[in-house]
Amino acid sequence: MSVLSVDNLRTSLVIGGVEYHALREISLSVAEGETLAVVGESGCGKSMLAMSVMGLLPSVAAITMGHVTLDAVQIEAASESVMEHIRGAKIGMVFQEPMTALNPVLTVGEQIAEPLRDHLGLSKREARKAAVALMEKVRIPAAATRYNSYPHEFSGGMRQRVVIALAIACRPRLLIADEPTTALDVTVQRQILDLLDMLRTEGKMGMLLITHNLGTVAGHADRVAVMYGGDLVESATVKELFRSPAHPYSRALLASLPRVDRDLSELASIPGRVPALINMPEGCRFIDRCPHAMERCHTMPPSVAVGESQAHSVRCWLHVQGGEDAAEG
Amino acid sequence: MLLKVEELRVSFSVRTGWPFPETHELRAVDGVSFDVREGESFGIVGESGCGKSTVARAILRLVDSKSGRVVFSGIDITSIPARHLRRLRPRLQMIFQDPAASLSPRMRIGDALAEAIRVHAIASGPDIDALVRNALAEVGLPPESANRFPHEFSGGQKQRIGIARALVLSPSVIIADEPVSALDVSVQAQILNLMARLKKERNIAFVFISHDLGVVRHFCERTAVMYLGQIIETGSTRNLFDAPKHPYTRLLRSVSPVPDPEKPAHLDVEEGEPPSPLNPPSGCRFHPRCRFVTDICRSETPDLRPVGAGFVACHHAEALPPAES
Amino acid sequence: MSEALTIDRRVRRLPPGRVAIIAGAAIMAIVAAAAILAPLVAPHDPYAQSMLARFRPMSAEYWLGTDQFGRDTFSRILYGLQITLWTAFASTALAMLCGTSIGILSGYYGGRVDRWLSAANDLLMSFPQMVAGIIIVALLGPGITNLIIAIAITAFPAFYRMARSAALALRERDYIDACRVLGYSDMRIISRHLLPETLDDIIIVATLWLATAVRTESSLAFIGLGAPPPAATLGGLVREGFDNLLDYPGLAIWPSLAILVVMIGLNLMGDGLRDANDPRASA
């Protein structure tokens, strides 16, 4: 059963009185206990996607088409007060910069205890006990004494653990982690990602892991959605994507990655840059940088299945029957 | 030897405590030595707070060093007067992490490049323009860029401008402090390829500072790993990453993400974070996090000594089991 | 029509501060024109006394009446405006020049000199402007030049502090390091790369301090420490009118109104500039 399903979602932005599609026709789902990684470079729309799901879009943006279903309830048109409850109890959020998610003048314990009282109706003492248990669960050493510490007394990694404790406090169904380790050192990154994996399996949560780091995806996700310019260009299991990427952008992205485990003669690089939202191409948004661009790419490509498995799909004309040969070259 | 760093030490005084702050000495760089040959790139890796950026800034005398020497082309640049240093500057350039912050915001790109040329009297009159255009072309920017302001460019383009500004001075060493960490993967590849080309064509040496082992492996022939202000292992990059000896290098290597789901990451990653450089542990600074720790590690600081093909600062370097990979 | 399109129906409003800047500038343009053109515009000689024309009420000949020496109040206000504005402008310019340059050098180089200068500056700032002004004028003696110097000294700390903190912040920026790596001299870095970045802030502070300088000048004149008679300054006019406040209130009120108009104009401009340049205000 899927915890989150996004169906044909379009999010639009109004700039100077003109409407632009920041997200086009996004469909994806996250199953119970599964991690779906959303990868892409800046401007690909991955954070916009997260905000659309959480109902935290800025005032100039809105969902203009499609559905977001969380735990069998449609939420794309939910009111702010309903969303507030959903965000507190059903969706846990972990952000890139833990300091901005924490209140500097409250002790970390109080901050973890607060949602427990608000959303689960625990008494003050119960909440305190539960908060300490949560802190132990995210492996904060000496949790009972550190209950009374303030965020600035914690290291970056420990703060992120506090944020995670806060996120899972009400046993959410879905965990959205938006670049959760980008601001952390590599040794700490691994600890945090391992912790998230453990909590997700244990709590049977679905996880939407938003990241730009393909290395993180390889080690910590089950399935992956590649985004470019507001389109979901390819979606596959992690193994499939790394073994046989189908979209020209995914291929180029994987080939441009320096490797710590082997020598590469030269990195493939993608010429040019992501176009700004206000001058996105009409059809495939990768058209200007794609080595395989052809006439039909001026119309939006459909999403088609690759190979036998229904789990691998790509939005590219190369893979449409009657299109050019899909092989490399 | 083009650039030689000997026993470099840099300290900052830090005031902590409330309401009566006390001054403590933070040894950001604590006895670092290495050298860089012509046309070679030397990597420095480590986590935040290990002192790698301070090394870069001390080489360029952007911060004062407490002791030690930096010898560039046979001249000890730690002790020469500022006036003499200015004349040497063109040959020793730097590329910054945040390309946006390293350009004067109100200066057109052409003017910024021309200023550097004029100050060092590298060319005059119309030759300046030609030089600016050439440098822009060399980093892959159109000549019209000269009339634009920094904010009109993307991050990758700004980094190209930063490189062009260094190039007009014909440097023999470029210190690159996390030059690609602020960039997207595909742009990162563009910049790395550009730098590799310059290295080859112009025989420029690089001191390349990064937290990303993959990037360092791709770009550098030799690498040093820093932990809390000291180099704990150094050697050829390939050796260092394929057969890391120091337990910290092993840890770094094993947690560095590999974009390959077929290669499962090691499961047992120790908890713990680097301690504060304000109050480093006694003996070997890595000992509180090390799984091979013995008594000697707690009391005696290991020297960086030759082990195999590289240098390792670990009492047990020879005795440790080979790293799994 | 999609929902998103309705979102942008916000009131189209001018950028922050625009209205205030325009209004303030308009007021100041008129006031400054009146002051500069005083010799041409003024209907009478401001210093010409006439025992026959004492305490005249408002009339076609004497627009705002005359004082106890029979001098035309309107003409005296115009000439007073001239001296007051000149004093304010000269003292602010002086303070700006010294405060900014010393502040930038102090912040850029840091160290012991910077600590001592900052401490001295804080001490100067801790005096209320009026008290500082009174002490300095008393020490220097009367005269417009001394008045300008006195007001400049009271305004100095504001510029020093602003320039120093700007230099301190900019010194840490990568592009200043980049300049040093490029081998630029400190003088070049300060004048070509640091100063231009602080100029906006300096102009805003200067505009607001012009207003304060007008007030300081008027207050000093009011307690008799202003420009020596018979020179007319706005504060001096209020002081003179004060002697006959109960019988002829206009003599004190008209110059007071003139001060008020100048203050409003300068403050509108300064606040407007500040709002327009506040990064938080621009969405």
Stretches in chain B below the pLDDT threshold 70: 264-270, 324-325
Tell me what ipTM this predicted complex has.
0.90
What are the per-10-residue average pLDDT scores of chain A (329 residues)?
93 90 94 95 91 91 94 90 88 88 92 89 92 94 92 91 93 94 89 93 94 91 95 95 94 92 86 87 93 92 84 92 49
Q: Residue A223 — φ and ψ, nearest 5°?
A: -125, 165
Listed residue (A322, C276, C179, C268) closest to B94, CA to CA:
C179
Joined tokens for residue A134: 């949560």
Length of chain A: 329
pLDDT at B267: 57
- Measured between beta carbons, which residues in chain B are less than 8 angstroms from residue C184? 86, 115, 119
Residue A138 domain flag: no
As a whole number of angstroms, the distance between CA B94 and CA B177 comes to: 8
Using CA atoms of A285, A286, A289, A295 in order, give the dihedral in degrees to the nearest 10: -80
Residue of chain A minimizing CA distance to B272: A188
**C interface with A, Cβ–Cβ below 8 Å:** 2-5, 7-8
Residue A304 domain flag: yes
Give the bridge partners for B311, in sequence order.
B234, B306
Q: Do B187 and A273 touch (CB under 8 A)?
A: yes
Which one of B16, B184, B192, B254 makes the best mutation probe of the A interface by having the most chain A beta carbons within 10 Å? B184
Nearest-neighbour CA in chain B from A79: distance (Å): 36
Residue A121 domain flag: no
Residue of chain C minimizing CA distance to A16: C8
- Which subunits count as partners of chain A given 3+ CB pairs below 8 Å? B, C
- Measured between beta carbons, which residues in chain C are less than 8 angstroms from residue B92? 181
Confirm if A49 and A21 have CB atoms less than 8 A apart: no
Which one of B16, B159, B180, B185 makes the best mutation probe of the A interface by having the most chain A beta carbons within 10 Å? B185
Confirm if C234 and C80 have CB atoms less than 8 A apart: yes
As a whole number of angstroms, the distance between CA A142 and CA B318 comes to: 36
- Measured between beta carbons, which residues in chain B are less than 8 angstroms from residue C181? 60, 62, 89, 92-94
Confirm if B41 and B82 have CB atoms less than 8 A apart: no
Which one of B88, B104, B115, B122 makes the best mutation probe of the C interface by having the most chain C beta carbons within 10 Å? B104
Nearest-neighbour CA in chain A from C10: distance (Å): 10
Q: Does B57 touch chain C (CB under 8 A)?
A: yes
**C interface with B, Cβ–Cβ below 8 Å:** 173-175, 177-185, 188, 192-193, 196-197
Res C95 pLDDT > 60: yes
Q: Does B316 touch chain C (CB under 8 A)?
A: no
Which one of C174, C192, C197 makes the best mutation probe of the B interface by having the most chain B beta carbons within 10 Å? C174
Q: Do B120 and C183 touch (CB under 8 A)?
A: yes
Q: Do A139 and B271 touch (CB under 8 A)?
A: yes
Residue A247 domain flag: yes
Nearest-neighbour CA in chain B from A80: distance (Å): 34
Q: Report pLDDT digits (tens) over A217-247.
A: 998 999 999 999 999 999 999 999 999 999 9
Give the bridge partners for B306, in sequence order.
B311
Find tokens 């559905």 and name the residue: A67
Find tokens 């799984």 and name the residue: B291
Confirm if C184 and B119 have CB atoms less than 8 A apart: yes
Amino acid identity of B226? M
- Measured between beta carbons, which residues in chain B are less than 8 angstroms from residue C173? 101
Query: Which residues, 6 or more positions from A37, have their beta carbon under 8 angstroms from its beta carbon?
Result: A209, A210, A211, A216, A217, A220, A221, A223, A224, A225, A238
pLDDT at C38: 81
- Measured between beta carbons, which residues in chain A are less than 8 angstroms from residue B272? 187
Domains and CATH numbers, chain C: 26-41+79-276 (1.10.3720.10)
Helix H, strand E, coil C: the string for chain A is CEEEEEEEEEEEEEECCEEEEEEEEEEEEEECCCEEEEECCCCCCHHHHHHHHHCCCCCCEEEEEEEEEECCEECCCCCHHHHHHHHHHCEEEECCCHHHHCCCCCCHHHHHHHHHHHHHCCCHHHHHHHHHHHHHHCCCCCHHHHCCCCHHHCCHHHHHHHHHHHHHCCCCCEEEEECCCCCCCHHHHHHHHHHHHHHHHHHCCEEEEEECCHHHHHHHCCEEEEEECCEEEEEEEHHHHHHCCCCHHHHHHHHCCCCCCCCCCCCCCCCCCCCCHHHCCCCCCCHHHCCCCCHHHHCCCCEEECCCCCCCEEECHHHCCCCCCCCCC
- Measured between beta carbons, which residues in chain A are less than 8 angstroms from residue B184? 41-42, 212
Helix H, strand E, coil C: the string for chain B is CCEEEEEEEEEEEEEECCCCCEEEEEEEEEEEEEEECCCCEEEEECCCCCCHHHHHHHHCCCCCCCEEEEEECCEECCCCCHHHHHHHHHHEEEECCCCCCCCCCCCCHHHHHHHHHHHCCCCCCHHHHHHHHHHHHHCCCCHHHHHCCHHHCCHHHHHHHHHHHHHCCCCCEEEEECCCCCCCHHHHHHHHHHHHHHHHHHCCEEEEEECCHHHHHHHCCEEEEEECCEEEEEEEHHHHHHCCCCHHHHHHHHHCCCCCCCCCCCCCCCCCCCCCCCCCCCCCCCHHHCCCCCHHHHHCCCCCEEECCEEECCCCCCCCCCCCC
Q: Do A12 and C8 touch (CB under 8 A)?
A: no
Q: Do A60 and C8 touch (CB under 8 A)?
A: yes
Is residue C87 classed as helix, strand or coil in its secondary structure? helix
pLDDT at C7: 38
As a whole number of angstroms, the distance between CA B4 and CA B91 comes to: 15
Q: pLDDT class for C182, splitting at 50, 70, 90?
A: very high
pLDDT at B269: 64
The pTM of this model reads 0.86
Q: pLDDT class for C179, splitting at 50, 70, 90?
A: very high
Q: How many CB pairs under 8 A join A and B?
A: 131
- B102 closest CB neighbour out of C175, C184, C185: C175
Residue A114 domain flag: no
As a whole number of angstroms, the distance between CA A269 and CA A173 comes to: 39
Q: Do C183 and B105 touch (CB under 8 A)?
A: no
As a whole number of angstroms, the distance between CA B156 and CA B186 comes to: 10
Q: Residue C42 — φ and ψ, nearest 5°?
A: -60, 130
Q: How many CB pairs under 8 A join A and C?
A: 23
Query: Which residues, 6 or more positions from A139, have their beta carbon under 8 angstroms from its beta carbon?
Result: A161, A195, B271
Q: A226-240, C5-19, C78-92: which has the minimum mean pLDDT? A: C5-19
Which one of A19, A57, A65, A76 makes the best mutation probe of the C interface by having the most chain C beta carbons within 10 Å? A19
Q: Do A219 and B238 touch (CB under 8 A)?
A: no
* Alpha carbon separation from C207 to A313, C78, C88, C277 (Å, rounded): 63, 21, 10, 14
Q: Does B17 touch chain A (CB under 8 A)?
A: no
**Region at B223 (left for phi over 0; alpha for psi -120 to 50; beta for the rest):** beta
Joined tokens for residue B50: 């290990």
Buried-exposed string A138-175: b where 16+ CB fall within 10 A, e elsewhere? bbbeebeebbebebeebebbbbbbbbbbbbbbbebbbb
Buried-exposed string B120-142: b where 16+ CB fall within 10 A, e elsewhere? beebeeeebbebbbebbebbbbe
Residue A120 domain flag: no
Residue of chain B minimizing CA distance to A252: B186
Nearest-neighbour CA in chain C from A18: distance (Å): 8
**A interface with C, Cβ–Cβ below 8 Å:** 12-14, 17, 19, 59-62, 64
As a whole number of angstroms, the distance between CA C172 and CA A79 comes to: 46
Give, as one character, the DSSP assignment of residue C277: T
CATH of the domain at A311: 3.40.50.300
In sequence order, what DSSP letters do the residues of C161-207 get, joined into one string?
HHHHHHHHHHHTSHHHHHHHHTT--HHHIIIIIIHHHHHHHHHHHHH
Span C119-137, average pLDDT: 85
Q: Do B259 and A155 touch (CB under 8 A)?
A: no
Q: Do A64 and C2 touch (CB under 8 A)?
A: yes
How many CB atoms within 10 Å of residue A114? 17
Q: Report pLDDT digits (tens) over C222-257.
A: 888 877 777 778 888 888 888 888 888 888 888 899
- Measured between beta carbons, which residues in chain A are less than 8 angstroms from residue B156? 273
Q: Do A256 and B325 touch (CB under 8 A)?
A: no
As a whole number of angstroms, the distance between CA A319 and CA A301 comes to: 10
| C-alpha C53, offset from chain centre | 35
- Measured between beta carbons, which residues in chain C are less than 8 angstroms from residue B94? 177-178, 181
Res C55 pLDDT > 90: no
Domain count, chain A: 1
In this structure, are strands B230-236 and B222-227 parallel, antiparallel, or unpaired?
A: antiparallel
Domain membership of residue A312 as a residue range: 2-90+172-259+274-328
Nearest-neighbour CA in chain C from B320: distance (Å): 43
Give, as one character, the DSSP assignment of residue C127: S
Amino acid identity of B141? L
Sheet holding B310-312, edge to edge: B92-95, B173-177, B205-210, B41-45, B222-227, B230-236, B310-312, B305-307
Which one of B260, B269, B290 makes the best mutation probe of the A interface by having the most chain A beta carbons within 10 Å? B260
Residue A115 domain flag: no
Query: Which residues, 6 or more positions from A12, have their beta carbon under 8 angstroms from its beta carbon?
Result: A19, A20, A21, A22, A61, A62, A64, C2, C4
Residue A129 domain flag: no
